[in-house]
Amino acid sequence: MPVITAPNATVYDQVYACSSPLIYHYRQDLETHDKDWIESNPGVPFIHMTRSTGTQLIPLYPHDHKGWPKAGENVSWLFGHTDRFGVLEGRLSIITAVSEPHEFLYYSGSSLSRCSEDQAQTIIDSYRVNIKHAWVTYKVFSVDRYLAGSRVPAGQYTDKDSAIAHTETVTYPMFVLDSRGQECYRSNS
């Protein structure tokens, strides 16, 4: 992927220079929404898509970023509610819903590059697997129940990165990922 080099230009300035000439309608996508997000999330990777009727920015937050709902939390999303896996899929699926993209950009957290639609999809697919892998490892409070092979009741597990600590906790995946990176529930019974 060719890296975009613009000495002394901010990330937003570089995105603007690449995208602005291609947009004929809904310029506020680029000039307001994208600018605000990029400036508010320094160092956070993203995919940026430009078309004649605006832009789409797909944030690639780290698994523990404040932008994700907490484990087990349902949040308002579009016309209903969902958990963080639904939010993840919703954010990432936009790449297939955008019509006629003219430009794809990838910001790695340190440099901006032009990329093809296939390269953007590959980045998103890899990101999806990595985020799900980070989210699906849980700590078990009841070691005895885990070792006995019984299901762990609700409230007996938490995200691996939370502050809850126990000297005898064991880590196991509550979900496992299939070959496509989709989560599947793993029963302990």
pLDDT of residue 136: 76
Indicate if the pLDDT at residue 184 is higher than 60: no
Whole-angstrom distance, CA of residue 6 vs CA of residue 96: 30
Grade residue 133 by pLDDT with cuts at 50, 70 and 90: confident
pLDDT of residue 107: 94
pLDDT of residue 2: 67
pLDDT tens figures, 3-56: 776 777 899 999 999 999 999 999 999 999 999 999 999 999 999 999 888 899
Indicate if the pLDDT at residue 81 is higher than 60: yes
Placement of tokens 């780290």 in the chain: 62
Neighbours of 80 (CB within 10 A): 8
pLDDT of residue 99: 64
Neighbours of 30 (CB within 10 A): 21
Nearest residue to 113 (alpha-carbon basis) of 14, 23, 16, 30: 14
Greater confidence, 12 or 1? Answer: 12
Nearest residue to 156 (alpha-carbon basis) of 85, 148, 164: 164
Grade residue 95 by pLDDT with cuts at 50, 70 and 90: confident
Placement of tokens 């302990």 in the chain: 188
pLDDT of residue 101: 65
pLDDT tens figures, 136-169: 764 433 344 444 444 444 444 444 433 333 333 3
The mean pLDDT value of the chain amounts to 75
Indicate if the pLDDT at residue 129 is higher than 60: yes
DSSP string, 52-106: TTEEEEEE---TT-TTSPPTT--EEETTEEE-HHHHHHHHHHHHHH--S--EEEE
Stated pTM of the model: 0.69
Domain ranges of the chain: 11-135, 138-185
Whole-angstrom distance, CA of residue 70 vs CA of residue 73: 5
Mean pLDDT of 66-82: 86
